[in-house]
Chains A and B, each alone.
Chain A
Amino acid sequence: MIRENWRLVLLAVLVVVSTVALFGPLGAGAGGDGGLPAGQTDSPTNLQYGLELSGGTRVRAPLVGLTAEPVDLSGTDTGQLQRDLAAELNVSLSEVAVRPPTQESPQGAVEVLSDNVTRAEFASAMQANGFEVTEEDVRDGVTQRTRDQTVRVLNDKINEGGLTGGTVTTSRTPSGETYVLVEVPNANRSEVLDLIGTPGRVQVVALYPNENNTGFNREPLLDQNDLTVSGVTSRSTAAGTQYSVGVTISNPDAAERFANTMRQEGFTSQQNPNGIGNCDYVLGDGPQDASEYCLLTVRDDTVVYAASMGDLATTINNGQFVNSPTFSIGAPNQSAARQLEIDLRAGALPTTLDVDDEGTTYFLQPSLAQEFKLFSLITGAVAVLAVSAVVFFRYREFGVAAPMVLTAAAEVYLLLGFASLVGLALDLSHIAGFIAVIGTGVDDLIIIADEILQGERVKTGRVFESRFRKAFWVIGAAAATTIIAMSPLAVLSLGDLQGFALVTIVGVLLGVLVTRPAYGNVLRNIVLD
Chain B
Amino acid sequence: MVDFEVPEVDYTRYTNRQLAAIPLVVLALALVVIGGYFALTGSPVSLGVAFTGGTELRVATTDSPAAIEQAFDGDVDSVTPVGSDNEYLVTFPPGAENIETQAQSAGYEVISVQERAASFGADAQQQALLGVGAAFIGMSVLVFVLFRTFVPSIAVVASAFSDIVIPLALMNVFGIDLTLGTVAALLMLIGYSVDSDLLLNNHILRRRGEFYESTYRAMRTGVTMTLTSIAAMAVMTVVSTLFGIPLLPEVGLILVFGLSADLMNTYLLNVSLLRYYKYEGIAA
Tell me whether B22 is interfacial, beta carbon within 8 Å.
no
Contacts of B233 on A, CB cut-off 8 Å? 383, 435, 439
Given contacts A389-B231, A481-B139, A481-B191, contact A361 B115 (CB under 8 A): yes
- The A-contacting residues of B in range 109-135, CB under 8 angstroms, are 109-117, 119-120, 123-124, 127-128, 130-132, 134-135
Most chain A CB within a 10 A radius of its CB, from B101, B225, B243 = B225
Contacts of A402 on B, CB cut-off 8 Å? none
- B146 and A435 contacting across the interface, CB-CB below 8 Å: no
- B243 and A360 contacting across the interface, CB-CB below 8 Å: no
- B184 and A432 contacting across the interface, CB-CB below 8 Å: yes
- B235 and A386 contacting across the interface, CB-CB below 8 Å: yes
Tell me whether B224 is interfacial, beta carbon within 8 Å.
yes
Tell me whether A413 is interfacial, beta carbon within 8 Å.
no
User: In chain A, what residue has the closest Cβ to B133?
Assistant: A488
- B243 and A375 contacting across the interface, CB-CB below 8 Å: yes
- B180 and A495 contacting across the interface, CB-CB below 8 Å: yes
- A446 and B221 contacting across the interface, CB-CB below 8 Å: yes
The distance in angstroms between the C-alpha atoms of A88 and B117, with both chains bound, is 30
Tell me whether B220 is interfacial, beta carbon within 8 Å.
yes
- B187 and A486 contacting across the interface, CB-CB below 8 Å: yes
User: In chain A, what residue has the closest Cβ to B190?
Assistant: A485
- B119 and A357 contacting across the interface, CB-CB below 8 Å: yes
- A376 and B240 contacting across the interface, CB-CB below 8 Å: yes
Most chain A CB within a 10 A radius of its CB, from B1, B184, B190 = B184
Shortest CB–CB separation between residue B143 and chain A, in angstroms? Answer: 7
Contact with A along B241-282 (1 / 0, CB 8 A): 001111110010001000000000000000000000000000
- B194 and A363 contacting across the interface, CB-CB below 8 Å: no
- Interface residue stretch chosen among A34-42, A103-111, A496-504, A516-524: A496-504
User: In chain B, what residue has the closest Cβ to A357?
Assistant: B117
Contacts of A387 on B, CB cut-off 8 Å? 228, 231-232
The distance in angstroms between the C-alpha atoms of A48 and B207, with both chains bound, is 47
The distance in angstroms between the C-alpha atoms of A371 and B187, with both chains bound, is 28
Most chain B CB within a 10 A radius of its CB, from A188, A435, A451 = A435
Interface majority SS (helix, strand, loop, mixed), chain A: helix
Shortest CB–CB separation between residue B196 and chain A, in angstroms? Answer: 8
Given contacts A175-B123, A390-B227, A390-B228, contact A376 B245 (CB under 8 A): yes
Contacts of A383 on B, CB cut-off 8 Å? 232-233, 235-236, 239
Contacts of A52 on B, CB cut-off 8 Å? 246-247
Tell me whether A155 is interfacial, beta carbon within 8 Å.
no
Tell me whether A456 is interfacial, beta carbon within 8 Å.
no
- B184 and A440 contacting across the interface, CB-CB below 8 Å: no
Tell me whether B89 is interfacial, beta carbon within 8 Å.
no
User: In chain A, what residue has the closest Cβ to B4?
Assistant: A393
B224: contacting residue among A436, A446, A486, CB under 8 A: A446
Contact with A along B87-123 (1 / 0, CB 8 A): 0000000000000110000000111111111011001
- The A-contacting residues of B in range 149-196, CB under 8 angstroms, are 180-181, 183-184, 187-188, 190-192, 194-195
Given contacts A361-B115, A446-B225, A494-B131, contact A486 B191 (CB under 8 A): yes
A363: contacting residue among B112, B120, B146, B255, CB under 8 A: B112
- The B-contacting residues of A in range 474-488, CB under 8 angstroms, are 474, 477-478, 480-482, 484-488
- A500 and B112 contacting across the interface, CB-CB below 8 Å: no
Contacts of A477 on B, CB cut-off 8 Å? 142, 146, 198, 202
Contacts of A205 on B, CB cut-off 8 Å? none
- The B-contacting residues of A in range 336-382, CB under 8 angstroms, are 355-365, 368, 371-372, 375-376, 378-379, 382
- A360 and B112 contacting across the interface, CB-CB below 8 Å: no
User: In chain B, what residue has the closest Cβ to A375?
Assistant: B243
B247: contacting residue among A190, A389, A443, A496, CB under 8 A: A496
- A447 and B127 contacting across the interface, CB-CB below 8 Å: no
Tell me whether B47 is interfacial, beta carbon within 8 Å.
no
- A474 and B198 contacting across the interface, CB-CB below 8 Å: yes
A432: contacting residue among B142, B181, B199, CB under 8 A: B181
The distance in angstroms between the C-alpha atoms of A487 and B132, with both chains bound, is 10
Most chain B CB within a 10 A radius of its CB, from A365, A439, A478 = A439
- B229 and A375 contacting across the interface, CB-CB below 8 Å: no
The distance in angstroms between the C-alpha atoms of A429 and B188, with both chains bound, is 12
Shortest CB–CB separation between residue B112 and chain A, in angstroms? Answer: 4
Tell me whether B71 is interfacial, beta carbon within 8 Å.
no
Most chain B CB within a 10 A radius of its CB, from A365, A383, A384, A454 = A383
Tell me whether A431 is interfacial, beta carbon within 8 Å.
yes
- A442 and B138 contacting across the interface, CB-CB below 8 Å: no
Interfacial residues, chain A to chain B (CB-CB below 8 A): 52, 61, 173-175, 177, 188-190, 355-365, 368, 371-372, 375-376, 378-379, 382-387, 389-391, 393-394, 428-429, 431-432, 435-436, 438-440, 442-444, 446-447, 450-451, 454, 470, 473-474, 477-478, 480-482, 484-489, 492-497, 500-501, 504
19 residue pairs A–B, Cβ–Cβ below 8 Å: A360-B116, A361-B114, A364-B111, A368-B112, A379-B235, A379-B240, A382-B239, A394-B4, A435-B248, A439-B232, A446-B224, A446-B225, A470-B202, A481-B194, A484-B139, A486-B191, A488-B130, A494-B127, A496-B247
Q: Which 8 residue pairs spanning A and B have beta carbons closest together?
A: A482-B191, A393-B4, A375-B243, A484-B138, A488-B134, A450-B221, A485-B190, A386-B235
